[in-house]
Chains A and B, each alone.
Chain A
Amino acid sequence: MAVEARAENTRRVLDVAALPRTVFGNQGLIWWGTTGFMVIEGSMFVIAIVVYFYLRLQVRDWPPSLPNPGLFYGTANLLTVIVSLLPAYIAKKKAEAFDLAGVRLWLAILVLFGVASVVLRFFEYFTLNCRWDDNAYGSIVWLLLGMHTVHVATDVVDSGVLLALAFLGPNTNNRFVDYSENSLYWYFIVAWWIPIYLTIYFMPRWL
């Protein structure tokens, strides 16, 4: 009888207590949330660029009776964000090694690059040589630049908040996943600047 009672009370179990509580990359939830929003925003960029070319087909001259955009600030911004991939990459590696001092340093450098990019972006609007309400060309160029600016600015603020948290704490193990995935989102923003830059600054010259 005693044996039977014991048999009723024991069950097969799958004990997951030993599993890690902190994982980086696509085994964790933060990666999936970040990637989900990158796919959504990436789709928006794709459609916006498609609209650019669609509008190109509607008129004979491109840009329609407007000068070409100036190249200086856009190109400077391109170089800035490409160089910024390095601090982003190092910050990510430091986060994955739980190296708080490294995260603080390289995240701070990344924020500085981000701020520089926003400042350069401010001057870019003046070198577009068109207004958003001039014609459809002006509208789509401003929209492309504006959409990308929103992304850059958001991520600079986001990185700034993370930087503050890195100094203020608490730096739980899972906080390092946030530091790491922040760089992933920055890669995404930098990667999108290349086709958008080519569209805004070179399509008027090539098409």
Chain B
Amino acid sequence: MSDFVHPIERRMAFTLTSEERLRRQLADTWYVPRGIVGWFSVADHKTIGRRYIITAFGFFIFAGILAGLMRIQLAVPNNHFVGPDLYNQIFTVHGTMMMFLFAVPVMEAMGVYLVPLMIGTRNIAFPRLNAFSYYVYLFGGVMLVATMLLNTAPDVGWFSYVPLAGPDYTPGKRADFWAQMITFTEVAALAVSVELVTTIFKTRAPGMSLNRMPLFVWSMLVTAFMVIFAMPTVVLCSTFLLLDRTVGTQFYNPAEGGDALLWQHLFWFFGHPEVYIIFVPALGIVSSIISAFTWRPIFGYPAMVMSLVATGFIGFGLWVHHMFATGLPALGLEYFTAASIVIAIPTGIQIFCWIASLWRGRPRFHTPLLFVLGFFAIFVLGGLSGVTLASVPFDLQVHDSYYVVAHFHYVLLGGAVFPLIGGIYFWFPKMTGRMMDDRLGKVNFWLFFIGFNVTFFPMHILGLEGMPRRIYTYPDSMGWGTLNLVSSLGALLLVLGGVLFVYNVVRSYAWGLVASDNPWGAETLEWATSSPPPVYNFLHIPVVEGRSALWNRSPDASVVTGIRSDVREVLLTDVMDAEPVTVTEYPEPSIWPFLCAVVTSAFFVGSIFTPWALPVAIPPLAVTLIGWFWPKKRDHAREMEEHAGDGTVPPEGRLRALREARA
């Protein structure tokens, strides 16, 4: 580009007063609104990210209680603690909530909170969209909780197979609630993914070229792309289901040219990448924790990045391994067996890189690192049972048995929840300004680790002994009683661990040791600002000089100046090298995204009951969207300001002047 303007490098004097003035002005400009209307108007990524994380953990606890009810029911044979109908609802809502309302959102929430801090910018891109996505997610989750409490919850399993979920076999509204809950969460997840991709590609601090980007940011980037390409499929297949059930389309009806297996193809084309959407951010968390607790960069950065990206691609080629028992052609199955084994390679590479990092460093065994080590043990076991399941003959034997239940709890809890809890212990000081109690944390870890294995390891054996998943009870004569009892006792340990975790969070939030800016001595930029960070994140946008932003920083490191502090200006840099390109302005907080989310949610729920919800919803939706984008006083002021710059007032005159200036 010929008219490319370069930033100017020079020296500048900073005085205490000028710094203090800047601090005040930034705090003023990036204010978080107060009051009830203000609470619903916030567009700061840290506030929204925190709400996202807390909400997701709320759903985690709710779904965990449901799991506890299942373990009580299954503890002994012939139990009548809950009946079959309620049991169906419980396992469906447990699975659905854990996958769609906890695991995916909580990982994206970590990205929403951490990515802008890690890459050195003031807010996430499209902050109002971010607020909108949170409220849509919240309302979708509340709807599912409400159905559970009203005894009208979905009862057809978390993947809601047709024909069972179709209009013929599940009359009533239960499966519709499931399908619409999907709509809520995918709208939220897709919005966050676009924000994250844009934030990561365009708003990195100068100097943070792609090959210097923290591994956590890489993992969120890969995740966001996976969401963008995977979620549209589930949008369509759940819409088909809803249409089949409400307006009589025939997508899944074999009698009218539809096909029931179409559902499985579409669902798993999304559903398998979904597993990696949950797992890949956890890999980023693991890398962050290991480098901080060994005080050295992760071994093999290029291999790590390539593995993340490879996982993102291969993750899309595995979906049929969920469908080995459906009688698809054998040649196709062989491809999917091969792909399912191949995906172990990039994960294996990463695990060896982490082992090398730990080997060469001097690990400090604080709670976050313990959770990472627990992740290694549990996830590797889950990965191994996954490789066995990739073999078609074996899969046919254990399909729909507790072996599969054991496998996916090992990979999901081991692969995602352990790193996540470790990540909470790790970033809690940054988010709250206080340390979590390390002694309680260690007890918490051992309760989780032992409780997890006692709960889920016996399920492998139960599966091999033929116990099918999703049965509400079993006769004494099957001989599954002892192992089920052991499993339920293990669940008790998990509950204790969970209670201890919540206690530790609450106690530390109120009375924990005050945290310094960088209590662990970690390498990434979020530790360069105060704990908790100010609303504008960084007083000066830093200039990054190496892969480990803080460890590679020279004493005389540059900072960015020339960004206005009286409006919400943000520096944009280019995709590859993070060279400064332009300065843009972020919107102010606004109530409209919240109102828009309310209307959207009312429409989603209403459409379960009548197709007329669409025409009824369009006018208020249009009003809220136009309100969202309508220019504010500020824009008029800006127009005047721009006119003042070239001495013209009416737009046409100004534009002529601009054109002339350009020519």
Contacts and interface: CB of A to CB of B under 8 A. Distances in A.
Interface string A172-188: 11110000000000000
A139 B259 CA distance: 12
Interface stretch (B10-18, B63-71, B176-184, B326-334): B10-18
A76 interface: no
Nearest to B641: A172
Contacts of A133: 247-250
Given A98-B655, A100-B652, A19 B250 contact: no
Contacts of A157: 622
Interface in A3-30: 6, 9-23, 27-29
Contacts, number: 222
A47 interface: yes
B257 A15 contact: no
A158 to B, nearest CB: 9
Interface string B82-118: 0000000000000000000000000000000000000
Contacts of A140: 251
A100 to B, nearest CB: 5
Given A13-B12, A54-B262, A47 B651 contact: no
A86 interface: no
B655 A135 contact: no
A14 B244 CA distance: 59
B559 A11 contact: yes
Interface residues of B, number: 79
A97 B659 contact: yes
Contacts of A195: none
Given A33-B198, A40-B190, A20 B562 contact: no
B584 A36 contact: no
Interface in B224-246: 228-229, 231-233, 235-236, 239-240, 243-244
Contacts of B639: 169-172
A194 interface: no
Interface in B539-598: 543, 556-563, 571-572, 574, 580-585
A23 B631 contact: no
Interface string A69-106: 00000000000000000000000000001111100000
A98 B658 contact: yes
B253 interface: yes
A55 B257 contact: yes
A142 B244 CA distance: 13
Interface stretch (B1-9, B289-297, B394-402): B1-9
A48 B581 CA distance: 38
A48 B239 CA distance: 11
A191 interface: no
Given A13-B561, A136-B253, A19 B556 contact: no
B556 to A, nearest CB: 6
B348 interface: no
A44 B238 CA distance: 12
B476 interface: no
A113 interface: no
Nearest to A153: B618
B125 interface: yes
A14 B558 contact: yes
B651 A161 contact: no
Interface string B346-380: 00000000000000000000000000000000000
Contacts of A204: none
Given A13-B11, A100-B652, A174-B585, A47 B236 contact: yes
Contacts of A137: 257
B201 interface: yes
A17 to B, nearest CB: 3
B125 to A, nearest CB: 6
A55 to B, nearest CB: 6
A165 B583 CA distance: 23
Contacts of A16: 7, 560-563, 571, 580, 583
B236 A44 contact: yes
Contacts of B202: 29, 32
Nearest to B557: A12
A47 B232 contact: yes
B161 interface: no
A59 interface: yes
B38 interface: no
B636 interface: yes
B636 A17 contact: no
B194 interface: yes
B60 to A, nearest CB: 27
Contacts of A119: none
Contacts of B193: 36
B123 to A, nearest CB: 12
A43 interface: yes
A141 B550 CA distance: 56
A39 B558 contact: no
Nearest to A64: B257
Given A36-B197, A59-B257, A139-B250, A12 B11 contact: yes
Interface of B: 5, 7-15, 125-126, 129, 190, 193-194, 197-198, 201-202, 206, 228-229, 231-233, 235-236, 239-240, 243-244, 247-251, 253-254, 256-259, 262, 265-266, 543, 556-563, 571-572, 574, 580-585, 622, 626, 629, 631, 635-636, 638-639, 642, 651-652, 655, 658-659, 662
Ordered nearest first, which 9 A-B pairs have the shortest CB separation?
A17-B562, A36-B194, A170-B639, A139-B249, A133-B248, A136-B257, A136-B258, A43-B232, A135-B256
8 contacts: A11-B11, A16-B562, A22-B582, A23-B581, A32-B197, A44-B236, A132-B243, A132-B247
Interface of A: 6, 9-23, 27-29, 32-33, 36-37, 39-41, 43-44, 47-48, 51, 54-55, 58-59, 64, 97-101, 132-140, 142-143, 157, 161, 165, 169-175
Given A15-B8, A15-B561, A134-B250, 18 more contacts: A14-B558, A15-B560, A16-B560, A19-B583, A20-B5, A21-B582, A41-B232, A44-B235, A47-B236, A47-B266, A51-B266, A54-B265, A55-B257, A58-B257, A59-B257, A100-B655, A138-B249, A172-B642
